[in-house]
């Protein structure tokens, strides 16, 4: 039985690694899909505590994903920022990235590093 489990892992691990190989979830998505991703990220950063996963799915394009805020902090100038993990699923391909977003004076979250 242990040999059977090992064979499955040998098959699955390379598949998962290749599926997660993209550097940015937005690398192959269209403008409306980018809006879905941005809206989901903003919702998670504004309303979810650190380490709480926010799951989402676009009503129009079928892409989905999740955003996990990791850490909240203030810059020296007093700007509120959050580190986050983001994963987007499109056509059964996962793309994950980490980033930092900061809240502008008008309340919008802007990615400053991803």
* Strands laid side by side in the 54-57 sheet: 54-57, 64-74, 80-90, 93-103, 109-113
Q: What is the pLDDT of residues 36-72, one digit of tens each?
A: 899 999 999 999 999 999 999 988 888 999 999 999 9
Position 11 scores a pLDDT of 34
In the three-class reduction of DSSP (H, G, I as helix; E, B as strand; rest coil), residue 104 is classed as: coil
Q: pTM value? A: 0.70
The pLDDT score that the predictor gives to residue 24 is 42
The mean per-residue pLDDT over the stretch 93-112 comes to 95
pLDDT of residue 16: 36
**Rounded Cα–Cα distance for residues 94 and 74 (Å):** 31
2 pLDDT higher than 50: no
Q: What is the pLDDT of residues 4-45, one digit of tens each?
A: 433 333 333 333 333 333 334 444 555 777 888 999 999 999
The 10s digit of each residue's pLDDT in 87-101 is 999 888 999 999 999
Give the residue from 67, 8, 13 showing the smallest Cα distance to 36: 67
How far from 42 is each of 15, 55, 103, CA to CA, in Å? 31, 12, 9
Contact present, 108 and 85 (Cβ < 8 Å) = no
């Amino acid at each position: 039985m242990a040999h059977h489990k090992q064979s499955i892992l040998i098959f699955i691990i390379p598949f998962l690694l290749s599926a997660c190989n993209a550097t940015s979830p937005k690398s192959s998505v269209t403008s409306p899909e980018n809006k879905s991703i941005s809206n989901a990220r903003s919702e998670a950063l504004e309303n979810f505590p650190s380490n709480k996963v926010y799951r989402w799915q676009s009503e129009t394009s079928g892409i989905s994903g999740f955003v996990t805020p990791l850490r909240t902090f203030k810059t020296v100038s007093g700007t509120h920022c959050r580190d986050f993990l983001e994963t987007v699923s499109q056509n059964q391909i996962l793309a994950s990235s980490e980033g930092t977003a900061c809240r502008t004076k008008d309340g919008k979250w802007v990615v400053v590093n991803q």
